[in-house]
Amino acid sequence: MAKRLNIHPTHPEPRKILEVVDVLRRGGVIAYPTDTVYALGCDIRQKKAVDEVYRLKRMSKEHPVAFVCPDLGDLARFATVDDQTYRLMRRLLPGPYTFILPATREVPKILMMKRKTVGIRVPHHEVVLAIVRELGGPIVSTSAAFEGEQLNDPDDIMLRFKEADLVIDSGWGSLEPSTVLDLSDGKVQVVREGAGPVDGLI
């Protein structure tokens, strides 16, 4: 059974963040809050943990997953960002968007598959940002729900993902996922409309 850890949504307790990071460094899988839906994730550098996320979600290995970076500076380690793209992201982040960008060699191959792009998030949520800052690297981000489901109650997430190592409870999440924008070819393409407004972006 997954362990449950209550963390304050706007003032995360440093001791509890250290506990989460310890789980991640040991190759654990966590369910955690974002500014949209709750997500399932792990340290992107741990192949077995990434495999476990796919297993728990019952996802095909062909299914892309995004990951969370703490800020735009860190994001540039993992994606090629031109000036125009940077200006757009600086305006929208942190926020409820996932950006598809050309990947750099820093991205682990398991997250690339046959693609040359990667999905990156910088959510507007203090808990997950504190986690990735303390970890010193990104964590995988895929919705903590099975295909066709919408879960925003940590109680339900505990039941669905009993085999996760840790479920963070920071209160109810949203039911609306992030807006996905493909910026990989220099244009703005809306892949999925979600919580982030798209008016004026195209």
For 67, other C-beta atoms within 10 Å of its C-beta total 27
Residue 178 is given by DSSP the state: P
The yes-or-no verdict on residue 202 having pLDDT over 70 is no
The mean pLDDT value of the chain amounts to 94
If one looks up domain 3-192 in CATH, what number appears? 3.90.870.10
- pLDDT band at 176, cuts 50/70/90? very high
Please give the torsion angle defined by the CA atoms of residues 95, 97, 102 and 104, in that order, rounded to the nearest 10 degrees: 40
Q: Identify each DSSP E strand in the chain by its residue range.
A: 3-6, 30-32, 39-41, 66-68, 97-102, 117-121, 139-143, 166-169, 179-182, 189-192
The shares of helix, strand and coil residues in the chain, as percent rounded to the nearest 5, are 30, 20, 50
The yes-or-no verdict on residue 47 having pLDDT over 70 is yes
Using CA atoms, how far apart are residues 98 and 89, in angstroms rounded to an integer? 10
Three-state SS at 174: coil
| Mean pLDDT score, 141-149 | 92
Which residue is associated with the tokens 């476990």? 52
pLDDT at position 120: 96
| Mean pLDDT score, 3-19 | 98
- pLDDT band at 155, cuts 50/70/90? very high
Give the closest residue to 59 by CA, choosing from 79, 34, 33, 29: 29
pTM: 0.95
pLDDT at position 111: 84
- The fraction of the chain above a pLDDT of 70, given in percent, is 99
More confident residue, 168 or 185: 168
Domain limits of the chain?
3-192
Among the residue ranges 39-53, 110-124, 127-141, the one predicted with the least confidence is 110-124
Three-state SS at 193: coil
Residue 184 is given by DSSP the state: T
pLDDT at position 200: 82
pLDDT at position 113: 63
Pairing of strands 166-169, 30-32: parallel
| Mean pLDDT score, 124-148 | 96
